[in-house]
Amino acid sequence: MISAGRAGQVVVHLDGVRKDYGETAALDGVSLEIRAGEAVAVMGPSGCGKSTLLNMIAGLDRPSGGTVTVDGQDLRLLSETGLTLFRRRHIGMIFQFFNLIDDLPALDNVALPSQLTGAPARQARMRALELLDELGIADRADAYPAVLSGGERQRVAVARALMNRPALLLADEPTGALDSRAGEQVMDLLIDLNQIGQTLLIVTHDLRLATRCAGHLVEMADGRVAGESALEPVE
Ligand code: ADP
Ligand code: MG
């Protein structure tokens, strides 16, 4: 299910990344490295730059300075179209509010990233169904997002993010809109994915969840990395 890349290979490398929005320095010189197979949690107060950091890594926006390299590709060298294609093939993203397409049933939401890369529809739908099955929601394949629970929506979003076997899964407060039980299930899912090799970068407000799912913690404050530490797993 996962394309882990070679264990230990550098998947994300940020060097002195800045992002200015007018007078605001959302990122003020962030350097960071993530290796294949790692699970890294990013924590820090609201407004400290966590989502901006993920957006820079996903190539959703361009830094004002510094370099971002993902899966060996310097993102500066890509055009806008190149960035979009690169993102589709190498990065999966999940968000607090799922960002599913309301007009499409779960299966088609999951299949979409594969179809966007030009894969035949039938093949895409088969893989989408496999993923829904692995995530325990195959019975919801034909359901539209509106009738799914929050936990089901996020599992559909995870399946969609995994569709193109991304080198990196980015999660921006993926349990922020879920009740604690659904949140725990999504976290367990992310832990399982990491254990079979998926490289993971997850933003969360919850230290307990971070400790459960990540081996490495990056603490941010005011657009900078304020501290990095190893997390000891708790049983
Ligand atoms: P976090 O995710 O940690 O809450 P963000 O990365 O969303 O923080 O935001 C960091 C800072 O950058 C905040 O001061 C925010 O207001 C600002 N910011 C983020 N995105 C934009 C944008 N598109 N335009 C202007 N300011 C932004
Ligand atoms: Mg944010």
Establish whether residue 26 lines the binding site of ligand 1, counting it when its CB lies within 6 angstroms of any ligand atom. Answer: yes
Q: What is the CA(229)–ligand 2 centre distance, in A?
A: 21
Residues lower than pLDDT 70 in the chain: 1-7, 233-235
Which atom of ligand 1 approaches the CA of 52 most closely?
A: 6
Establish whether residue 51 lines the binding site of ligand 1, counting it when its CB lies within 6 angstroms of any ligand atom. Answer: yes
Q: What is the CA(220)–ligand 2 centre distance, in A?
A: 12
Among left, alpha and beta (phi > 0; psi -120 to 50; other), residue 103 is alpha
Establish whether residue 45 lines the binding site of ligand 1, counting it when its CB lies within 6 angstroms of any ligand atom. Answer: no
Which atom of ligand 1 approaches the CA of 223 most closely?
A: 10
Closest CA to 51 of 135, 221, 171, 155: 171
Q: CA of 27: how far to CAs of 24, 69, 151, in Å?
A: 9, 16, 31
Identify the pLDDT of residue 233. 67
Tell me which CATH code domain 10-101+168-230 carries. 3.40.50.300
Distance CA 79, CA 17 (A): 19
Closest CA to 35 of 217, 143, 168: 168
Identify the pLDDT of residue 151. 95
> Edge-to-edge strand order for the sheet containing 73-74?
24-35, 10-21, 65-70, 73-74
- Write the pLDDT tens digit of every residue in 55-65: 999 999 999 99
Identify the pLDDT of residue 207. 87
Identify the pLDDT of residue 2. 54
